[in-house]
């Protein structure tokens, strides 16, 4: 039965009257509000039911005489809820053996709605201080910095399980990309890259395989892009069940090639074409970027490595190449790691240089991390990035489900499509046939 019919007009009218403030408006949340009173009534009723179950008899039931335990009044307690602070009258028993489940002893808040809200706010990039201010201003809830941190830390176990989950034996393609975050490390705030590995499995579906941060600042001997760091990442992948990676697409990471060949000897390392284009266009004036980009496209869409070399020579000798020689140098410096994908047909090449999904993921994650000044440690970074990915995927899934429920049709649009997890790779069937021949 709907709550509206269950309560009836008379009860609702009384609740409305009691919830009006001095100006005639409604106080829906906060101490003494309408929702607060409802929560109080429901919780106290539930606590009475819990005590009856514990004692084995109901209130005023003569069966309880001579049982050795009975009700012993009530004690006042204020708990924080999703609608603000609520003052409860918690029943007690004489033997002191009653342990409420719904409102545990020494618990200062009711988990569920409030915890979920805090985790959601955190996943959207709000700092602990921002969450404190939001709860105080909107819900009149006072929670300490430590309490909020403990709530968000509760997901760390899930994060660690996700980071250690078994992976597929073979990933035809793995992309490695990074976003830079500020982390307190060695008693100072350092800019550190958080690396994300996105793998395409044999079914053509994309998955975030893991998130890794170096344990030391970048200017240190064992920084993020060192062989030691990448050896640890590759060892982690092998320990989780990965036996081979056909093509690894990266941004020319120092120490990466040696590390991946030590773990996966036959992997082809391909420099990410998108990163190369971005680096080549960095010194180009905004008004000239369209023209320069059109000329650079002739290089990476050439039919062969030899034709690409000729296109690069033509660009270097052109007016654009003379004006922006740094753009050509980007390709020249990475030529050996840039050309491997010319051994494949356009189906596989497009797979390697079309990284819109990864770029979209990084864009969403940067929006979340940008609001956070700096992080107290590496775990906090991984926790937030994981929560942000889950939050975005869940939001899009809800929007798809809502649209299907309303229209009976599946909505396919950039705003509701899977961001990464489970996203299908376009043109995968043709690419898989070619990869199967190239890597028997």
* Residue range 232-259, pLDDT digits in tens: 999 999 999 999 999 998 887 778 888 9
Query: Torsion angle of alpha carbons 324, 325, 326, 328, nearest 10°?
Result: 110
Least confident of 6-15, 164-173, 358-367: 6-15
21, 77, 82, 11: which is closest to 44 by C-alpha?
Answer: 77
pTM confidence score? 0.70
Let me know: does 37 contact 15? Beta carbons within 8 Å: yes
> Measured between alpha carbons, how far is 369 from 127 in angstroms, rounded to an integer?
10
Assess whether pLDDT exceeds 80 at residue 346: yes
Assess whether pLDDT exceeds 70 at residue 216: no
Rounded to whole angstroms, what are the CA distances from 189 to 109, 113, 152?
A: 33, 34, 22
What is the DSSP pairing of strand 268-271 with strand 244-250? parallel
Nearest 5°: the CA angle 348, 270, 428 is 20
> Measured between alpha carbons, how far is 193 from 224 in angstroms, rounded to an integer?
7
> Measured between alpha carbons, how far is 230 from 255 in angstroms, rounded to an integer?
7
Average pLDDT value for residue range 363-384: 85
Assess whether pLDDT exceeds 90 at residue 168: yes
pLDDT digits (tens, 9 = 90+) for 34-68: 677 777 887 788 788 888 888 888 888 887 777 88
Q: Coil, strand, or helix at residue 154?
A: coil
Predicted confidence at residue 4, as pLDDT, reads 65
| Contacts of residue 295, Cβ cutoff 8 Å, sequence gap at least 6 | 315, 318, 320, 321
Assess whether pLDDT exceeds 70 at residue 2: no
What is the DSSP pairing of strand 170-185 with strand 244-250? parallel
> Measured between alpha carbons, how far is 11 from 197 in angstroms, rounded to an integer?
56
Average pLDDT value for residue range 176-197: 86
Predicted confidence at residue 390, as pLDDT, reads 86
- Going by pLDDT thresholds of 50, 70 and 90, the confidence category of residue 222 is very low
Highest mean pLDDT among 227-241, 346-360, 401-415: 227-241
The proportion of the chain whose per-residue pLDDT surpasses 70, expressed as a percent, equals 87
Let me know: does 171 contact 199? Beta carbons within 8 Å: yes
Assess whether pLDDT exceeds 50 at residue 224: no
> Measured between alpha carbons, how far is 219 from 356 in angstroms, rounded to an integer?
31
Average pLDDT value for residue range 169-191: 87
Write down the mean pLDDT value for the chain.
82
> Measured between alpha carbons, how far is 294 from 290 in angstroms, rounded to an integer?
6
Let me know: does 425 contact 431? Beta carbons within 8 Å: yes
Predicted confidence at residue 24, as pLDDT, reads 66
> Measured between alpha carbons, how far is 40 from 68 in angstroms, rounded to an integer?
30
pLDDT digits (tens, 9 = 90+) for 78-112: 877 767 778 888 898 888 888 887 677 766 666 55
Assess whether pLDDT exceeds 90 at residue 319: yes
Average pLDDT value for residue range 294-299: 93
Assess whether pLDDT exceeds 50 at residue 221: no
- Going by pLDDT thresholds of 50, 70 and 90, the confidence category of residue 223 is very low
């Amino acid at each position: 039965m709907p709550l509206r019919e269950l309560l009836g007009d008379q009860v609702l009218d009384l609740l409305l009257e009691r919830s009006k403030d001095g100006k005639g408006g409604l106080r829906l949340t906060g101490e003494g509000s309408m929702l607060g009173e409802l929560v109080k009534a429901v919780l106290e009723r539930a606590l009475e039911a819990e005590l009856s179950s514990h004692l084995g008899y109901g209130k005023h039931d003569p069966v309880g005489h001579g049982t050795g335990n009975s009700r012993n009044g009530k004690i006042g307690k204020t708990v924080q809820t999703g609608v603000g602070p609520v003052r409860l009258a918690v029943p007690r028993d004489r033997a002191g053996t009653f342990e409420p489940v719904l409102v545990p002893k020494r618990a200062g808040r009711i988990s569920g709605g409030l915890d979920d809200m805090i985790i959601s706010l955190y996943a959207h990039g709000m700092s602990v201080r921002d969450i404190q201010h939001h709860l105080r201003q909107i819900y009149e809830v006072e929670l300490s910095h430590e309490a909020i941190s403990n709530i968000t830390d509760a997901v760390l176990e899930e994060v660690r399980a996700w980071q250690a989950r078994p992976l597929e034996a073979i990933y035809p393609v793995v992309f490695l990309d990074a976003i830079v975050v500020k982390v307190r490390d060695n008693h100072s705030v350092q800019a550190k890259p958080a690396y994300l590995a996105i793998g395409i499995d044999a079914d053509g579906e994309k998955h975030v395989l893991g998130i890794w941060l170096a344990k030391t600042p970048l200017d240190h001997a064992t920084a993020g892009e060192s062989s030691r760091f990448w050896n640890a990442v590759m060892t982690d992948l092998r320990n989780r069940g990965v036996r081979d990676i056909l093509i690894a697409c990266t941004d020319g990471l120092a120490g990466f090639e040696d590390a991946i060949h030590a773990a996966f000897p036959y992997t082809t390392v391909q420099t990410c074409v998108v990163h190369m284009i971005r680096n080549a266009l960095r010194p180009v004036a905004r008004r000239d970027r369209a023209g320069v980009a059109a000329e650079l496209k002739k290089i990476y869409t050439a039919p062969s490595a030899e034709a690409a070399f000729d296109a690069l020579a033509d660009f270097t000798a052109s007016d654009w190449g003379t004006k922006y020689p740094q753009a050509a140098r980007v390709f020249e410096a990475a030529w050996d790691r840039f050309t491997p994908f010319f051994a494949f047909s356009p189906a596989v090449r497009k797979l390697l240089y079309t990284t819109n999904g990864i770029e979209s993921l990084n864009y969403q994650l940067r929006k979340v991390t940008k609001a956070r000044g700096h992080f107290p440690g590496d775990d906090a970074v991984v926790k937030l990035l994981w929560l942000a990915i889950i939050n975005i995927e869940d939001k899009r899934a809800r929007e798809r489900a809502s649209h299907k429920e309303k229209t009976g049709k599946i909505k396919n649009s950039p705003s509701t499509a899977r961001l990464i997890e489970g996203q299908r790779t376009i043109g995968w069937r043709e690419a898989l046939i070619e990869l199967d021949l190239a890597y028997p």
